[in-house]
Amino acid sequence: MKKAVVLLSGGLDSTTCMAVAKSEGYQLYPVSFDYGQRHNRELALAKKVATYFEAKDHKIFTIQNVGGSALTDSNIDVPEYEGDGEIPVTYVPARNILFLSYALGYAEVIGAEAIYIGVSSVDYSGYPDCRPEFIEAFQQVVNVGTAAGVKGKGIDIKTPLMKLSKADTVKLGLELGAPYHLTTSCYKGGEEACGVCDSCVLRLKGFEEAGGEDPIPYKSK
């Protein structure tokens, strides 16, 4: 059976990617990361999502926290949604470069054909490592910098959400039975999502426009 590594954060987008990968016939090998984020709630939920999808294996890698982000430094406040087009303080330096590098090494070891990552360039916070240009560049790294790439076996970086709005992502996930009740998107990591950070606002907007009801609790909507 063909194998896929899925970057799984415990959030809406990565959970949707799990559902897509499963629907496309892959055996699932999700990977999650402890990178010094403010809370471990997302990792706890990632474990539940992996179990829900009956993943073959679920790796959690620990990466040294380099700071410089509101998501990894308690001295930097998580801002409310601004949507001004600027790269927000919730950007974690080089995060997807690191995540994909770990996922790539793991994919080579297990003989996976694909790596799924839930990035989108439509409804997103403006992070540079979520754009098509970044994925295209990393795919080139895969092709020339790995044994699999040099031998022509290839490992495809799959971004099924890249051109989807958050509403379209929600619709896709609901169609595929994604367990959104097991997810969190809030940057603050509470039992109840804050409803006002970038991630919460975009998630709520997606459910509203999709005509669905978000199954997780919020302090404010």
Q: Is 130 annotated as a binding residue?
A: no
CA dist., res. 77 & res. 113, Å (int): 40
200 is in an annotated binding site: yes
Please, what's the largest Cα pairwise distance for the chain?
Answer: 52
User: Could you tell me what percentage of the chain is helix, strand and coil, using 3-state DSSP and rounding each to the nearest 5?
Assistant: 40, 10, 50
16 among annotated binding-site residues: yes
- Residue 194 assigned ligand-binding role: yes
Residue 15 annotated as lining a ligand binding site: yes
At which residue do the structure tokens 């430094």 appear?
Answer: 73
Is 9 annotated as belonging to a binding site? yes
CA distances from 202 to 9, 85, 186, 215 (A): 16, 14, 10, 15
Tell whether 12 is in a known binding site.
Answer: yes
Residue keyed to tokens 């790596």: 115
Is 177 among the annotated ligand-binding positions?
no
Q: Say whether 10 counts as a known binding-site residue.
A: yes
Summarize the annotated binding site for ATP as residue ranges: 8-18
Summarize the annotated binding site for Zn(2+) as residue ranges: 186, 194, 197, 200
Summarize the annotated binding site as residue ranges: 8-18, 186, 194, 197, 200
